[in-house]
Each structure stands twice: as structure tokens, then as C-alpha cells.
Amino acid sequence: MYDVIVLGATFAAAGIAQQHKEKCLVIERRAQAGYEFFAALDFTVAETEIYAHFKNCHTLFCTELVSVQKNSDGFACVTHGVQGFCTYYAKNVIDTRCNTETSISKTYNLLIDSKEKPVFLNCRCEKAKGENRYIVYCPVPLSCGYAEARAAAQDIIGQFSETQRLILSAYEFDYHIKEGYPKTRDGILLLPSKAYKNPKLAFEAGQRIVEEAGK
């Protein structure tokens, strides 16, 4: 039995893993960690060294969470992955995932090259690392899927001047989390990593949750 099972290989999860090490299991349906910032192109802080903390715990990538059930000893988490259906047990479960349930809004982000600060209707633009690089934050409805988001992004791209070009489109939505986290629901601690401004703060929040629980 693990001390804790963490849902989502986020930067908050890395902070939890750094504290619990081999007594921690992280379950992630994607193939990579840190998606909530880097895949969403919200990389305001480059904290790639945080990934190293996942090496000290047990991590299941490309694994779907089927169910979480509370029992007399803690929780039983059923997963489905390359090994088929498996059940893992832990004293506690912490959910660090970012999704529409925990969010008030979301954006679909673009990294562009522009010789001047870009201005697009209803979009926020911020300077990114690198010369002439900007992040364009395109608001989309919470119910919006990737097909609709890419169509909306094409409308923005259609407004580009001759000195602007697309470098990269996000492959994850950038979620903006509701207030009031962390909180507990059905015995599970909810700690959405994107409730924090950057990867470093999310990592520290994960560390702090473990330290406070131990007091």
C-alpha cells in the first residue's frame, strides 16, 4: 500500500512526490509530465529540473484512471493501461489534475513571432522568452473541444500582419482554476496544479500540502 496516490503528473504532483518518494504513486493518462504549463504554452518559468522528482516515486504514464473507491484502509484506485486493468491501494488520494470541473475559464494558446507586440480582439498577449516571441491567449468556452479551438485560432492567424508568424500551437488547454482550493471532496484532496501562477509555485504547493499533513 502506498502512502498516497496522486492523480495527474503535474508540477504539484512533483512536489508531493519529492516528499513521499517511493511511497507515492502518480497516475497520468498522458505520456508526459508538466502538461498543465508546458503543453498549454504557459511556460512563464522554465522549471524542467522539477521533473527529476518523478524518478524517486512510482509513475504510471499512458494510464487511464477507471475508478476511485474509498475503503476501510484508505482508497482503491482501478487503472487501465499497457498491463490491462490493475488495482492500487493507498492511504490517501490527491487529485492535482486540471479540467473543466475545477475551472472558471480556459484559453487556447499560440506562440508567435512578431516584430511588434501583437494586438488581437478579445485575446491577451504577453512577451515570451526569446526575441520577438509572444504568447497569445485565446479565450474559448469551457465546453469547447480541440477542433473548435483550432478553428478559433485560425481566425486569429488570419489577422496576422506580414511580420507575424505562428511558431507553435498548444496541445493542451490552459485552465484558469476556481478559488477555494485546496479542498477535500469524498475524502480526496483536490489540489489542481494550475491554481498556481507558475510551475515553481505549484511544486511548492505540493510540498507544503505534505508538510502540513505531517504536522
Give pLDDT, residue 214.
65
With a cut of 70, say whether residue 45 has pLDDT above it: no
Q: Is the peptide bond before 182 cis (omega within 30 degrees of 0)?
A: yes
Residue 80, C-beta contacts closer than 8 angstroms, at least 6 positions apart: 63, 64, 66, 86
Residue 48, C-beta contacts closer than 8 angstroms, at least 6 positions apart: 34
**Residue 13: strand, helix, or coil:** helix
With a cut of 70, say whether residue 215 has pLDDT above it: no
Burial class (CB in 10 A: 0-12, 13-18, 19+), 158: exposed
Residue found under cell 522539477: 50
Contact 2, 16 (CB under 8 A): no
pLDDT band at 44 (very low <50, low <70, confident <90, very high): low
Are β-strands 124-127 and 133-140 bridged in parallel, bridged antiparallel, or unpaired?
antiparallel
Give the mean pLDDT of 142-171: 94
Smallest CA-to-CA distance from 189 within 11, 37, 16 is with: 16
Are β-strands 74-81 and 64-71 bridged in parallel, bridged antiparallel, or unpaired?
antiparallel
More confident residue, 188 or 56: 188
DSSP assignment string, 148-202:
HHHHHHHHHHTT--TTEEEEEE-SS-EEEEPSS-SEEETTEEE--GGGSSSHHHH
Cα separation, 75 vs 89, in Å, equals 6
Helices (H), 81-165: 146-157
Question: Partners of 190 in the beta sheet?
Answer: 95, 183
With a cut of 80, say whether residue 83 has pLDDT above it: yes
pLDDT band at 47 (very low <50, low <70, confident <90, very high): low
With a cut of 80, say whether residue 48 has pLDDT above it: no
